[in-house]
Chain A
Amino acid sequence: MALTVEGLKKSYGNLKVLDGVTFSVEEGEFVCLIGESGCGKTTILKIIAGLERPDEGRVDFKGVNRMGFVFQDDRLLPWKTVYGNIQFALKAMGIEDGEVVRRIIDFVGLKGFENYYPKQLSGGMRQRVGIARALAVNPDLLLMDEPFASLDARTRERMQEELLRIVGGKTVVFVTHSIDEAVYLADKIVILSPRPARVIRTVEVSLPKPRDRASQEFAEFRRELYRSFDLYGRK
């Protein structure tokens, strides 16, 4: 087990956000958190990353030394170029390796934009810089908060494919709104209730990867998930 999240409770003032969230992530597993807007998904990631403290509950790691975080908002340094922003994460770890930065820029399809400032990039490109920054540190645990939300459908699918290719055996916790995205990416889907969030169902996605979005099995799996959303999601 790489990560165990147990009984997380969190309130902001009177607003109860998390009401006992429990799930676990195996080493090398790709887990999608899915739930409606405002239910507390970002809050869960922040607690895992140590940016917020839960009121109750705990998070246990095993074999996690480096965490990468792809934020929902891109959080790029406005005064650094694409290159500089990615390099920042490496410098934070005391690594000065230009080759890694260049390779990762190439990887996320931003070659030629190394010297652009965030302001000069589109929303989707900024998001890709954020992804590149998280990958650059070669994390044991990758936390991703709706990283593809601002991409167009085609780029989004391409990035999903590439993401699976790069993260290979990495442990990933990936937040999304999209059932399709979850079914395509996840080994396991954690379905959260509307706020206050609880885990209402955990689904193992048994389909072999790479998955064919057009296949019968894919469609069936998706339909099944939609149904459970209708049952539990909308109270």
Chain B
Amino acid sequence: MRLKGAILLILLWYLVSAFTELPHPHEVAETFFILLFNSEPVLGKTLVQHAAASLLRVLTASLLAFSIAIPLGIVSALNRTLAEIVTPMVEALRPIPPLAWIPLAYVIFAPLPNTVQVSQIFIVFVGAFFPCFVSVFDYSRNVPEELLEMARVFKAPERLILRDIVLLHSLQGVVSGVRIGLGVGWMSIIAAEMIATSGEGLGYFIMVMYEVGGRTAEIVAGMAMIGVIGYLMNTLLLKAEKLVMPWR
């Protein structure tokens, strides 16, 4: 079934290539595999190097975002006062797409020596933070009442309820929050890299390939790399989910 889907996609691709500027699949594949480990002359870097640069930015920023979003999500879910302060803020900021922050970020972080990097980290942070927070918050807040009732019947102390019920239930929110957050973070970094000179990174690579004269095979090869990495991240995290939560 999957194979059929892939074949159909490639056929469609050929069809579209016949009528547009879109390079043929085999051209892209060739460029992709050459550039994977051989430097592309304009930027002097391989696709793997660009991917590593983007990944590093995403991981740094996302980890930062998660390390705030997870505890904040849990604590806000348990504390009404905090929830009343935090949720309106989140609801107001969440609908703003990370990319909309880019111009402002460049202005705000202009005084810093590494404005571009800091801005990119900031944008990924924004992208990863909200989905993670919302997921953690929702799970932590919706611990099944039946389980809490059960704990009350057995006179479980608050500490035990927190550890064995609330936190373990929240874990599902943490795990999916991390996965979704990383996905959004990955999209954000590509976009952020397209806007300013970053020296390396897949978004930057694609943008430069466009600027030096519409080198479509390189552009699509870069896009393919983005897709491959996004897919791998998601698959890896789904596998990790099974490991972290063997009961599911």
Contact digits for B156-180, partner A, Cβ 8 Å, 1 yes 0 no: 1100100011001101000000000
Does B151 belong to the interface (CB within 8 Å)?
yes
A79 and B160 contact, CB distance less than 8 A: no
When distances are taken between beta carbons in the complex, the residues of chain A under 8 Å from B160 are 88, 91-92
Q: How far is the CA of A79 from the CA of B156 in the complex (A)?
A: 17
Does B239 belong to the interface (CB within 8 Å)?
no
A77 and B156 contact, CB distance less than 8 A: no
B154 and A89 contact, CB distance less than 8 A: yes
Q: How far is the CA of A88 from the CA of B164 in the complex (A)?
A: 8
A75 and B150 contact, CB distance less than 8 A: yes
Q: How far is the CA of A133 from the CA of B153 in the complex (A)?
A: 12
Q: Which of B131-164 contact A (CB under 8 A)?
A: 146-147, 149-157, 160, 164
When distances are taken between beta carbons in the complex, the residues of chain A under 8 Å from B146 are 71, 73, 75
Interface of B is mostly: helix
Q: How far is the CA of A78 from the CA of B164 in the complex (A)?
A: 11
| Best-surrounded residue of A75, A79, A80 (most CB of chain B within 10 A) | A79
Q: Please, which residue of chain B has its CB at the minimum distance from the CB of A116? A: B247
A89 to chain B, nearest CB (A): 5
Of the candidates B147, B153, B245, B248, which one forms a contact with A77 in the assembled complex, judged by CB atoms under 8 Å apart?
B147
Q: How far is the CA of A51 from the CA of B152 in the complex (A)?
A: 8
Interface residues on chain A, number (Cβ under 8 Å): 22
A92 and B155 contact, CB distance less than 8 A: yes
A30 to chain B, nearest CB (A): 20
When distances are taken between beta carbons in the complex, the residues of chain A under 8 Å from B248 are 78, 119
When distances are taken between beta carbons in the complex, the residues of chain A under 8 Å from B165 are 77
Contact digits for A67-111, partner B, Cβ 8 Å, 1 yes 0 no: 101010101011110000000110111000000000000000000
Of the candidates B147, B149, B171, B245, which one forms a contact with A51 in the assembled complex, judged by CB atoms under 8 Å apart?
B149
Q: Which of B214-248 contact A (CB under 8 A)?
A: 245-248
Q: How far is the CA of A24 from the CA of B155 in the complex (A)?
A: 24
B247 and A88 contact, CB distance less than 8 A: no
B168 and A92 contact, CB distance less than 8 A: no
Given A77-B165, A77-B168, A79-B168, A92:B245 Cβ within 8 A:
no
Q: How far is the CA of A79 from the CA of B139 in the complex (A)?
A: 14
A residues with CB within 8 A of B? 49-51, 67, 69, 71, 73, 75, 77-80, 88-89, 91-93, 117-119, 133, 137
B residues with CB within 8 A of A? 146-147, 149-157, 160, 164-165, 168-169, 171, 245-248
Known: A79-B169, A88-B160. 12 other contacts (CB 8 A): A49-B153, A50-B152, A51-B152, A75-B146, A75-B150, A79-B245, A88-B154, A88-B156, A92-B155, A92-B156, A117-B247, A119-B248
Q: Can you list 17 pairs linking A and B with CB atoms under 8 Å apart?
A: A49-B153, A67-B153, A75-B150, A77-B147, A77-B164, A77-B168, A79-B171, A88-B160, A88-B164, A89-B154, A91-B156, A92-B154, A93-B155, A117-B247, A118-B247, A119-B248, A137-B154
